[in-house]
Amino acid sequence: MHKLIIIGPRFNTTDSQIVGGSIVLFEELIFQLKQQNIPYVPIDTNKLNYKNSLLAYISITYQLICHLKGADHISLHSSRDYQILTPLLILFGKVFKKTTSLRKFGGEAKENFMRANFIKKYYLTLIFSHINFLFFETKYLVSFFSHINNNTFWFPNVRNRTIEPTLPRKFNKKFVFISHIIKEKGIDEIIEASRELDESYTIDLYGPLLKGHYTEDDLQGECISYKGVLPINQVLPTLNKYDVVLLPSYKEGYPGIIIEAYSLGIPVIATNLQSICEIVDSHKTGVLIEPKNSSQLLKAIKYFNEKNYVESSQHAYDKFDTFKSEHVVKSFIATIIMLRKNRRYQ
């Protein structure tokens, strides 16, 4: 294919520590396009890299117009501002005869759509149906939105295996949580479960402490400890020091930390959410529990032992192939090329 215009959030130019999952995924896409020699032009949607939001949208539009010549496809990768930018893509796509796609980050699209009032639901239906291709992070979202757009595909959360773990891993009763330290991530349940464990267990928590949620004192106990915020380049090396990832969240898409854990052969304990059920095979790559249930979390923690851990670790390691960035991006490009050949888009 000829030039691809990709629109999405880049790393913050002034503070590299301000990083979200969508930024990591978009930067990974750029890396893979370089590796696969796919010609592309990136347009940054990270508002922190502009003076203000208004100037950001003006600049994004101007950059898009400048790069349209010679481009075959315009691809937007977005968590929230797709509601503003998608109509722009649709307009330019139709006027300049370019195919267009939207990759929606996160797993809340169905919930937001169902809760929307009539006007907003009608608007979302319009933009989802008029964009040429839709990509969602979870299979259940693909299934749900396929009735609006037949060309709806799966683009899961992806990662690279940048550290090759030593297998078989040994089980040392070391558990870790890496995410925002907020109630919705199941922090209360982790604290409650930790009170029933002896000192042979370790539970370490990493992530930003948001105002009004928890203090460091709340996260200290016999086997539980708060360890601060991890720089992005330290997530995998730190994760590799632990045995099992804890993520008893109340809601999630495809959490990147689970994919990163799999890359290292680390199983997970996570909640039985619709999205997580797609990526965690209970009692194989980890253990699934009900949300807001500290007793199930405690039981899952105690489930692992030196014998079953080795098998679960190997299953997690093998599962990572499904989310290997190189394979998924190749499929993404192949889908665009294949569907561009359809006469209705020429």
pLDDT band per the 50, 70, 90 thresholds, residue 345: very low
| Residue 199: how many other CB atoms lie within 10 Å | 9
Q: Where are the domains of the chain?
A: 3-158+324-345, 174-323
Summarize pLDDT for 37-62 with one digit per residue, the tens: 999 999 999 999 999 999 999 999 99
Please report, for residues 67, 187, 209, the alpha-carbon distance to residue 204 in angstroms, rounded to integers and kept in the order given: 47, 12, 14
pLDDT band per the 50, 70, 90 thresholds, residue 17: low
Residue 242 is predicted with a pLDDT of: 98
pLDDT band per the 50, 70, 90 thresholds, residue 346: very low
- Could you tell me the two tokens for 128? 């989802």
Please report, for residues 148, 190, 228, 233, 258, the alpha-carbon distance to residue 274 in angstroms, rounded to integers and kept in the order given: 21, 21, 30, 30, 15
Phi, psi of 299, rounded to the nearest 5 degrees? -60, -40
Residue 16 is predicted with a pLDDT of: 65
Residue 231 is predicted with a pLDDT of: 87
Among residues 155, 127, 122, the alpha carbon closest in space to that of 139 is found at: 155
Residue 343 is predicted with a pLDDT of: 45
Summarize pLDDT for 122-144 with one digit per residue, the tens: 999 999 999 999 999 999 999 99
Task: Given CATH 2.40.110.10, say whether it is the number of domain 174-323.
Answer: no
Query: For residue 48, what are the contacts with CB-CB under 8 A and spacing of at least 6?
Result: 12, 13, 14, 15, 18
| The pLDDT of residue 12 is above 90 | no
174-323 matches 3-158+324-345 in CATH topology = yes
Classified by CATH at the fold level, domain 3-158+324-345 comes out as Rossmann fold (3.40.50)
> Quick check: bond before 42 cis, omega within 30?
no
In this structure, of 109-123, 180-194, 332-346, the range with the lowest mean pLDDT score is 332-346
Strand ranges (E), 248-305: 268-271, 286-289
